Structures are given as structure tokens and as C-alpha cells.
Amino acid sequence: MENVIEVKKLRKEFKAYSSRAGLKGAFRDLFTRNYKIVPAVNDINITVKKGEMVGYIGENGAGKSTTIKMLTGILTPTSGEIIVNGMNPHKEREKFVQTIGVVFGQRSQLWWDIAVQESFRLLKKVYKVSDEDYEQHMQHVIRTLDIEPLLDKPVRKLSLGQRMRCELAAALIHNPPLLFLDEPTIGLDVLVKLKIREFLKEINEKYNTTILLTTHDLSDIEALCERVVMLDEGKVIYDGALRELKEKWGDQKELHFQFLKKVNIKTVQNVTSGLPVEWEVDEKDQTFIAILEDRDELISQVIAKVVAAFKIKDVKINETSTEEIIRKIYEKGAVEVG
Ligand SMILES: Nc1ncnc2c1ncn2[C@@H]1O[C@H](COP(=O)(O)OP(=O)(O)OP(=O)(O)O)[C@@H](O)[C@H]1O
Ligand SMILES: [Mg+2]
């Protein structure tokens, strides 16, 4: 299979200015400013094959958007190599943009004051899409994303969810083989989220569209991406199957207890002392959560002890969530996957 994205030792440094303290400092800052060089993206290697849907994740400031800006030719790298769709995104700009679609959830690509369909019409010209192709492809996109009633409204009058659906449609006008989505579901309600997910799945199946997706909503990733690339402080700390990540790190269970009477965490901890269990309390609904290794025997022991000591209102056994797994990995900082 061909590689759609090939990135070698890609690096982007920014100058981070620091201000000096006090009035004197501020005055000095006017003339010379102190700065240090911070690598936002630190020599990363990534290869993406045609038709893959890759989740690009990491905490705030990890370098995800910076990577996407370089991959789409908006930013020039400090060093390293980028080949996307067989081109250098920055150098072959005009030809290149015909082959990609981009959505930045944080920022609109549409013209604020004109009706959505006018934006579409302009983009259709920019991308030199034929009337036939437009009709055939966009009718379907418009119907699936349910934006027909929005087309004659100016973008500034749309709600966030309405606008995001239009943004996505706009990114697809030329039916690009490669889509970059930077937080496309930010702030959307569940129904719109599901609609967008379904739609992305559909175009991936129908056209074998390659998708690189960043999101803080891991359920997006779980629904769409078999592969995740995890970034931490500009470095790739994991690149592989989401499933493997869960198998390797999700070896824990959570027991959620609610008691009939008010109980103190110390007493609960005492009851299971000697067993390898960590307790947390969810103050909001007075749930006591035991986090422990996923061993049947241990789980039975803990439940038996707790049940013997307190009157139980509710018990639940949960797998550790992907969120929990990812949080653990960030805390630890690095993963080796064999
Ligand atoms: N234009 C810029 N000038 C200076 N520093 C920048 C610039 N753009 C980004 N940075 C810094 O680079 C780092 C990575 O930022 P980036 O936007 O890529 O993070 P991100 O992973 O997309 O985070 P988020 O999840 O918050 O969107 C941050 O420390 C940020 O402050
Ligand atoms: Mg970002």
C-alpha cells in the first residue's frame, strides 16, 4: 500500500519569550527580550498509509496542531522531511491543496458574512470542481450532514454544531483523498458528534479517504481509529493499535460501591487493608471506587470484605476506561510497545 504521509525527523521550534519582572524588567523587554527556543514538534517520524484513519492525540500543547499545520503547508518546519500525497506541502502549495481537505475546529474556514452556499460556490471555483462532480458529490454530503436548511444562512448566524457540519462539507467539496481534522467535534452535542462520525466512516469506506484526526474526545478515536499516534511534549510516545494500548494498559478493573449509610473513606480502606487496592471517592454521588488488578480472585475478595462490612446500595464493575489508560500513560511519560 502506498504511503500518503511520510514524515522524517520533523521538527518545529518556536521562540518562547519570557518577560522580566517589574517595571525595570518591562522597560528592558522593550529593547531586548529574553527568549528560549522550544521545540513544539521534536523530531517525529510518522507514516500513514492510504485509507488509514489515524487518531492523533496528546495533551494541550503537545504539538498536534503544529504538526497538522506543517503537514498542510501552513507552517514551514524548522527541519525534517515531509511528503504528503507525494508532494512537499510547502513548496508545491497550489497543486497540493487540491489533494487535501482541512478542518480546524477552533477556527472557521468559511467566510463569516456570506451565506454558506456562496462559500461553497467560491470553493468550488478555487478547486476547479466541475458542475457534474459537484452535484453528484455534494448533494450527498449535504444530505448526509443535514445542512440543506442552513445553506442560505450567513455563517455568523449558525450555531457551533451547524457551522462545524458546514465546515466539514466545505472541506470535502473537491472530494480530497486525504483529510486533516483538528478537533472537528469540539463543543458539539452527542447527536451531531455521532452524525459526523458516521459520515467520516462512510467516506472512508466509500472513497478510501485517509483521515488524520486530532481530538480530546477519546470516544471519537474509539469509534473511528484503529491506530493512534500519541504525542507528548513534541515527541511521539506511542504509535500503534488502540486495541494493543488497551490490552497492555487496561489490565485494571474498577469496583464502584455506593453505601446505604454515610461512610468514611478511612473505614473503607481499613476493611481492605492488606489487599492491593487503591480507593478513590467520587464526592458528588458518594461513590467509593476501588481500583485493582483484573484478577477474579482479588475482585471477589474485595467485594466480599466490603459487603460484609457495609450495607450496599449499589455495586458496579467497570473496565478501566480508555481515558484512564491514556491518563496513566501521560503520567508515566513514555510507552514501549513490543
Ligand atoms: N505560533 C506560535 N508561536 C509560539 N509558540 C507556539 C505557536 N504555536 C504553538 N506554539 C507552542 O507550541 C506548543 C504546541 O502547540 P500546539 O498548538 O501544536 O498544541 P496542541 O497539541 O495542538 O494543543 P491543544 O490540544 O491545546 O490544541 C505549545 O507549547 C504552544 O504554546
Ligand atoms: Mg491544537
Domain boundaries, the chain: 3-239, 251-319
Please state, for a pLDDT cut of 90, what percent of the chain lies above it: 68
pLDDT of residue 337: 46
Which residues have CB less than 5 Å away from ligand 2 (the ion)?
A: 64-65
108 confidence band (pLDDT: 50, 70, 90): confident
The overall average pLDDT reported for the chain is 90
311 confidence band (pLDDT: 50, 70, 90): very high
Strands 210-214 and 3-18: unpaired
Domains 3-239 and 251-319 share a fold: no
pLDDT of residue 176: 96
H or E element that contains 104: strand 100-104
Between CA 226 and CA 328, with CA 183 as vertex, the angle to 5 degrees is 60
pLDDT of residue 334: 55
H or E element that contains 34: strand 34-49
**Architecture in CATH for domain 3-239:** 3-Layer(aba) Sandwich (3.40)
Any atom of ligand 1 within 6 Å of the Cβ of 279 = no
Which atom of ligand 1 is least distant from the CA of 75?
1
pLDDT of residue 68: 97
> Per residue in 39-58, pLDDT tens?
999 999 999 999 999 999 99
How far is residue 261's CA from residue 310's CA, in Å, rounded to a whole number? 8
**DSSP count for the chain of H helices, then E strands:** 12, 13
Q: Which residues contact 101 (CB under 8 A, 6 or more apart)?
A: 171, 172, 174, 176, 178, 179, 180
Ligand nearest to the CA of 64: 1
Q: Which residues contact 107 (CB under 8 A, 6 or more apart)?
A: none
335 confidence band (pLDDT: 50, 70, 90): low
**Architecture in CATH for domain 251-319:** 2-Layer Sandwich (3.30)
Residue 121 has phi, psi (to 5 degrees) of -60, -40
pLDDT of residue 175: 94
As a whole number, mean pLDDT of residues 162-189 equals 93
| Residue nearest atom 9 in ligand 1 by C-alpha distance | 66
pLDDT of residue 46: 97
pLDDT of residue 1: 60
Strands 178-182 and 100-104: parallel
326 confidence band (pLDDT: 50, 70, 90): confident
Compute the distance from residue 65 Cα to the ligand 2 centre, in Å. 4
How far is residue 88's CA from residue 313's CA, in Å, rounded to a whole number? 61
Residue 320 has phi, psi (to 5 degrees) of -65, 135
Do residues 54 and 220 make contact, with C-beta atoms less than 8 angstroms apart? no
As a whole number, mean pLDDT of residues 307-323 equals 88
As a whole number, mean pLDDT of residues 295-317 equals 93
For the entire predicted model, the pTM comes to 0.81
